[in-house]
Structure 1
């Protein structure tokens, strides 16, 4: 009886204690959850959905591994291709009676461009006519002697003499024709000679004046085939050792950019500048470049072949005095601290912080920097 009464008295007390213990445990659990919920997020993370990334125009790419294809940027000057620029000069002294081309006009190889009236021209043409007449007479005598010899009327020595005279007359005619041809030939009248274009191209200079008396070798026109131009660049000797023919050259000026190729690296220094002359060939079929135009030339050096990591300069940002790149994660991006090295063109070497397998934000990474400063979550 006494034991039963004692159990009845203790049971309510035990239940009360258990209830207090469970309540306390629940309170502690609630505190832990509240503490977890209030835990600050990764301060270097930017939470973005795929749609938000696309809308922000953020693009990603893998870093370049294996060394930067460096560039040497130097001023250059557009020049005509030496093989594609010719001077039309007077091959004979006299008076200019016709100039058939103006600046900018196109010409074909062999087109007459000027006509010179000269006493020397008359003499050359007269010599051709006289040599032609002598050659004709010699051929006629040769045919007669051949016929007479066949009829046994003339001796063989007369035939040999006629054959020799015909040969000599033919040589004299060809010589006279070649002398006339060396001056350009043609021109119409007996005392006129035509000056012809040696190449096809465009007239870029015309110093001659109609009616002017010119001496032999006087410049009349300058013709250039500008479908191919060259870029002249002067290199410091230290850089010249890294450049060889065949390397790509990016030529730019006033919103234009085009690739060319190195064709010549001088083996000697210029006596005045002490620099090395470099020539690069550049296609100009569309007339994009003008002779004498200053340009910027970037000589693209070959890869170093090492395992260094490089990213575009647009991928590198400064956040709270740290240099970072934004690496793609499952939930968006994370600012990863890096150490940068040398910069070549639009590429920056990353000496520490990247393995080369991460996808990094290369376009509009400044947007991620701004979002990181606002708390790491982009507003919808």
Structure 2
């Protein structure tokens, strides 16, 4: 009886030891399994973005390999408009109101400085010219009186006071005559009659606009013609503020339109945004002595960008063809050639540079990238990710 009591007392202890032994074995078995799972995750991350392809598969897919370019700050291609050079364009206006009785130049014709472009007939012109004639007569009379007083004073017949008065009157008459001539010059030139006034060209150039017709009555300061010296023209561009920060006076601009091409130079980058468009106005000067560019013509401008580095140096700027860039999961990537295929490299992009794009980070510039048909690699990458999720 006593022996049985001892046996029952030892049973719970034996069971506990057995359970402990079983639990310890389960824990030891779980550790290697967890290590294997972690290793699989690490291998999956290591293979992320990798695409394995043979050379035959790459050729069959039409994927062309190109090397990333280093150096050159790139260009920015955008639409632009040809304008007349602001320094070489003049508005010819009527200084007085009246009726247009002559128009001596048509659109496109050349003019020289001082050439009479139009003749205006008006009462005001008659008054201006009449004052010139009257002041000329008064000046002639004053000069005659002065000569007589000088002669009488020399003969000691007339007192010095009369000579001084005659000299003063002659001076005043000369000033009045010069003022009358100045008023006529400010209004125009001779028009062939007392009541007619000619309007002269202020510069040499070409007539690019005519705002009146023969017989029309115009007000003072009304525009009659617009004359431009088109040996050089302006190129008007509008840039995003981020791009304008990399454009400076002196930067080259390649202008193309309808089989024509020429080089221009940036002369002005506005320090303020246009209130309507919120863009930065930029002006470039274009040589037009050959007459191949027309005011108002729409063209394409390729603006040379200045590097963001110190001193404007272009070294170290990495560029790739625009066709090499794809978007994967909302991020820009470039497929870099590896020994076994390609690796999708996330990149940070800069400005478009015509057919290429600047890569701010993600590439060193020594890589070979998929430049053509890179979208097939994007599709292949998507298949691999889908299989991995399954």
TM (norm. structure 2) is 0.65
Q: Report if the CA contact (8 A) 1:92-1:217 is conserved.
A: yes
3-state DSSP class of the match of 1:221? strand
Q: Report if the CA contact (8 A) 1:338-1:354 is conserved.
A: no
3-state DSSP class of the match of 1:145? helix
Q: Determine the structure 2 residue equivalent to 1:333.
A: none
Name the CA distance, whole Å, in 2 between partners of 1:353 and 1:169.
84
Q: Report if the CA contact (8 A) 1:339-1:352 is conserved.
A: no
Q: 2:275 matched to 1:271?
A: yes
Name the CA distance, whole Å, in 1 between partners of 2:146 and 2:315.
86
Moved more, 295-304 or 126-135: 295-304
Q: 1:252 to 1:112 in 2, by over 3 A?
A: same
CA root-mean-square deviation:
3.7
Q: Determine the structure 2 residue equivalent to 1:297.
A: 301
Q: Determine the structure 2 residue equivalent to 1:243.
A: 247
Name the CA distance, whole Å, in 1 between partners of 2:94 and 2:229.
20
3-state DSSP class of the match of 2:272? strand
Q: Report if the CA contact (8 A) 1:338-1:353 is conserved.
A: no
Q: 1:104 to 1:263 in 2, by over 3 A?
A: same
Q: 2:118 matched to 1:114?
A: yes
Q: How much does 1:193 deviate?
A: 0.5
Q: How much does 1:63 deviate?
A: 9.1
3-state DSSP class of the match of 1:109? coil
Q: 2:287 matched to 1:283?
A: yes
Cα shift readout 1:266-294 (whole Å, capped 9, x = no counterpart):
11111121111111111111112111111
Q: How much does 1:217 deviate?
A: 1.5
Q: 2:131 matched to 1:127?
A: yes
Report matched runs for 1:1-380 at 5 Å.
67-303=71-307, 304=309, 305=313, 308=316, 344-346=353-355
3-state DSSP class of the match of 2:299? strand
Which ranges of structure 2 fall in alignment gaps of 5 or more residues? 1-54, 57-66, 325-333, 368-390
Cα shift readout 1:236-271 (whole Å, capped 9, x = no counterpart):
111122222111111222222211111111111111
Q: Determine the structure 2 residue equivalent to 1:8.
A: none
Where is the helix percentage greater, Structure 1 or Structure 2?
A: 2
Name the CA distance, whole Å, in 2 between partners of 1:197 and 1:222.
9
Q: Report if the CA contact (8 A) 1:116-1:193 is conserved.
A: yes
3-state DSSP class of the match of 1:268? coil
Q: 1:162 to 1:338 in 2, by over 3 A?
A: farther
TM (norm. structure 1) is 0.67
Q: How much does 1:355 deviate?
A: 6.0
Q: 1:234 to 1:309 in 2, by over 3 A?
A: closer
Q: How much does 1:186 deviate?
A: 0.4
Q: Following superposition, which runs of at least 4 residues in structure 1 exceed 4 angstroms of deviation?
A: 62-65, 309-314, 321-324, 336-343, 346-356
Which ranges of structure 1 fall in alignment gaps of 5 or more residues? 1-42, 45-61, 325-335, 357-380
The count of aligned residue pairs is 292
Q: 1:348 to 1:238 in 2, by over 3 A?
A: closer
Q: Report if the CA contact (8 A) 1:338-1:352 is conserved.
A: no
